[in-house]
Structure 1
């Protein structure tokens, strides 16, 4: 016994008693030796107590288990980051409060209707015109919303769909960008063919004597031709040649129709994928989608309200009504497939990813070319007063920021 520790002495079997005390203990490599009273060096082994023998190693990581993942929903597909839990591609059984979803369907309907109909009613039944500061502010806010929706929401969601491990590795890594370009070129083609059709129709319905030629200060000749349908073709001629701009209700209706088509594509998906999110995240996602629908409604409503007065009010109302109904329709479809929907199914991922990327291309074209460039480079904001320009710019940035912030959750 040395102190409070017990030791075992290794050596030949002896008949006499063991020495009561050993001194001069020292180590050789991993072994311990001490000196007996007679000067003999003996090996000493430390004998563990019963408590030490039975004690097992303690690992904090084993007690707590795998680190949980941070999961949220994008387009109805659960997207998880971090953690050590294994992901599965099988359908997950979730809790769905169906009566709550049915009730909130009507909340989405009312919110969408308020957003899209408000600008139309304001310009139709008040003295507020599309050149007023309030209307310009709303329109530029809507422009920011459309551009942000294209890139932050739709393009990003499409990338997440195509990068999902349940889909496997794609043979072509640029799939998302390729589908995006297809949507962009499709929008351009519709706009271009629409403009060509307008010019062709104007040529057939040209009214003799309706041409008016103006000579500018720099010797530039401008020929304006008006047609019975209210459209106008403006031809600019100078020493460098001539170019044509098509203005009027037909051209603007084509642009608004393309915008609405892009919005309708993804609004249907929004409604479908909102209701298939589990109850644990449904209310958070619903609140985000509520603001999303309000902002997009304002964006589309200001574009519809900005159509020429020759467009019948009934037609504007129908265009707005389609937007108001499309997301609730998607929600109704989603409620019907709650028991079968699997967001990680390959066909589902491909379908959602393709439609999101296609819609992103459409809205990118409309937001940047038809809304941003038209208003700022060719419209009233090109030479607007400084105060009005600053207000419009602030509204544009506000739309970009607010809609981009919503992309954190939806």
Structure 2
């Protein structure tokens, strides 16, 4: 038995054993180092300089305008409308900043700093590093703000004592007290208070209610500048009481009462003039400091966002640009609303300079990316480390700003409970949570970030079709038509390969989504077949006046239709997805793979050869224009009519934008916003299905989902 076991092991190829050891992480650190994937992007295709320059000006305009909008609305509107604009901008902005930190920056920092191509310390040795960096940056900014605030408070405290201590300087230490009239003394003896007492600074009475702590902007006179409670006795100690005793038997007269009220009003106004300017300046300095910290956290990562846009190509560039446009707009509103809340001096350029700094930072990054195109690679080891650390630091800054400076102050401070009540508080909280949810959607499994694969897993076992236009460089009607047909065939082939390769490895919890993914592939194939038979072939035969050009193609269809029907019958009649058997499914797929592959290659050759048909339309002729329009119309309908919410996303997420040197990165010629909406919005209806697709939403090939698991290979 032992000898038989030894023979069994000896018959297994060494390459397979090494691959299995690596998969189980049992080959040791040295093997990991030798097998570590290389950092760096693959061929990213054609670089469109005019498009990137236009994107730079687009981001510049959007960022600057959205950040300036709250400031402009404050100057151009008044009353409730202005307050509502600032109100919603502030709270929507809080949600944007929190979503940016939690959903965008921090996860991307983890993705960059734990990339498998990086050295062991980053990829496996200390994977919590991005979280640690974010934590340190939050602690550092807390210490900086604490130091600067304490420094300012200390200065204020010393100055306040100069005002209220017992020195002889009358101008600073003694507020002249009017001699009390007899009417007021009598009123005190009788236990009465003047009922028409009016204070010059109405806000100074806030915070005097028992059990309520005074707020920084509305504190009692004795505490506005940092004096201790006992120091307030300067107004009501024993000496003060003696001043009233001589005339306390007199009854109050109306004129006496009015005079005393005026004296109190003037006295309070004197105190307010001494304290309010200093306090408001300190409060403004604190708000400016917080806003600067907030803007620093935003600008810190904006430069790298700009560089990332400028080095992207193909569909990834368009999708990335759309997503970043939304990101910059909302983030600009968030920052602008906080800048608008600060009371800058009239005519000050400081708020506009802060707006300009935000508006130009990302475009500066784009300009750097344009200049370094071909040199800077965000997927290289230095690029991953640089972007990863910057994203982690920015995440820490924005987490502190969003949670401490914005969310806590807006909803948990004592001042907030006075200003946000009832439905107003609910609206504010709803604004924060709604935009935070938008951040969640923007980082869905179909989000705009691209994936750098280690292998094009879906390129086998069925071979991909090489397009005639790529091989021959011809541009005639039928070569172009055959090329586009070949690209569509490749999406179907990648779908087949992705199902075939993942079936033995799908986890129990993923089986239902995998079955739906496979059934979508079947609907895609059958829609394509039916449209060829019912529409395309007959129209081409009419143009060529030849009923036999697709005779062989018709016969080829019959060779695999039976296997496709069995594939659909098996999957659609499963009582439960748990009953799925990889062995059964692969046996069915094996039964029609050979004729299926032969047809998908041979049909392209057949269509391309029609360029030499005796009745083929000559270039630029009316018949050629009709035939070209036919191919274009058929190409649009064959996929979309099969299913906008399932087949169309399936098709787009199995198109490799890097195929044939990126020559087809912009195929099909679909407007970028529509393509983005199909993959990221419409496709989200069945989002979990597309985990099994061979490419991401930007057309970048990726390792198949089920092959990324580190669990043991199990039979379904």
Q: Check whether TM > 0.5.
A: yes
Offset from partner CA, 1:64-119 (integer Å, 9 cap, x none): xxxxxxxxxxxxxxxxxxxxxx9642443322101110011101000001110000
**Structure-to-structure mapping, 1:327-406, within 5 angstroms:** 327-378=362-413, 381-383=416-418, 384-406=420-442
Q: TM-score normalised to the size of structure 2? A: 0.41
User: In the alignment, which residue of structure 1 is the partner of 2:312?
Assistant: 277
Deviation at 1:201, TM superposition (A): 3.0
CA distance in 1 between partners of 2:93 and 2:359 (Å): 16
Q: 1:375 to 1:285 in 2, by over 3 A?
A: same
Deviation at 1:351, TM superposition (A): 1.1
Deviation at 1:262, TM superposition (A): 0.4
1:218 aligned onto 2:210: yes
1:119 aligned onto 2:67: no
User: In the alignment, which residue of structure 2 is the partner of 1:300?
Assistant: 335
* Alignment gaps of 5+ in structure 2: 1-35, 165-171, 174-203, 219-223, 231-278, 450-716
Offset from partner CA, 1:169-221 (integer Å, 9 cap, x none): 32322201110111111221121112112113324554726997988343778
Quick check: 1:155–1:357 contact (8 Å CA) kept in 2?
yes
**Structure-to-structure mapping, 1:9-408, within 5 angstroms:** 88-94=38-44, 95-128=46-79, 132-170=83-121, 171-203=125-157, 205-206=159-160, 208=163, 216-218=208-210, 248-310=283-345, 313-378=348-413, 381-383=416-418, 384-407=420-443, 408=447
Q: 1:187 to 1:223 in 2, by over 3 A?
A: closer
CA distance in 2 between partners of 1:237 and 1:268 (Å): 50
Quick check: 1:249–1:310 contact (8 Å CA) kept in 2?
no
Deviates more, 1:134-143 or 1:90-99: 90-99
Q: 1:337 to 1:203 in 2, by over 3 A?
A: same
User: In the alignment, which residue of structure 2 is the partner of 1:32?
Assistant: none
Deviates more, 1:200-209 or 1:288-297: 200-209
Aligned residues: CA RMSD: 3.0
User: In the alignment, which residue of structure 2 is the partner of 1:13?
Assistant: none
User: In the alignment, which residue of structure 2 is the partner of 1:7?
Assistant: none
Task: Determine which structure has the larger strand proportion and give its number.
Answer: 1
CA distance in 1 between partners of 2:439 and 2:215 (Å): 42
CA distance in 2 between partners of 1:392 and 1:105 (Å): 33
SS in 1 for 2:116: coil
Deviates more, 1:382-391 or 1:279-288: 382-391
Q: 1:237 to 1:298 in 2, by over 3 A?
A: farther
How many residue pairs match? The answer is 314
CA distance in 2 between partners of 1:176 and 1:252 (Å): 29
User: In the alignment, which residue of structure 1 is the partner of 2:625?
Assistant: none
Offset from partner CA, 1:336-361 (integer Å, 9 cap, x none): 11111222322221111111000000
Quick check: 2:215–2:415 contact (8 Å CA) kept in 1?
no
SS in 1 for 2:354: helix
Deviation at 1:224, TM superposition (A): 6.9
CA distance in 1 between partners of 2:316 and 2:216 (Å): 57
User: In the alignment, which residue of structure 1 is the partner of 2:686?
Assistant: none
Deviation at 1:290, TM superposition (A): 0.2
User: In the alignment, which residue of structure 2 is the partner of 1:11?
Assistant: none
Deviation at 1:127, TM superposition (A): 1.7
CA distance in 1 between partners of 2:39 and 2:316 (Å): 19
CA distance in 1 between partners of 2:71 and 2:354 (Å): 11
Q: 1:91 to 1:131 in 2, by over 3 A?
A: closer
SS in 2 for 1:96: coil
CA distance in 1 between partners of 2:346 and 2:287 (Å): 10
User: In the alignment, which residue of structure 1 is the partner of 2:448?
Assistant: 409
Deviation at 1:409, TM superposition (A): 2.0
Quick check: 1:161–1:352 contact (8 Å CA) kept in 2?
yes
Quick check: 2:157–2:225 contact (8 Å CA) kept in 1?
no
Q: 1:214 to 1:341 in 2, by over 3 A?
A: closer
Q: TM-score normalised to the size of structure 1? A: 0.69
Q: 1:193 to 1:292 in 2, by over 3 A?
A: same
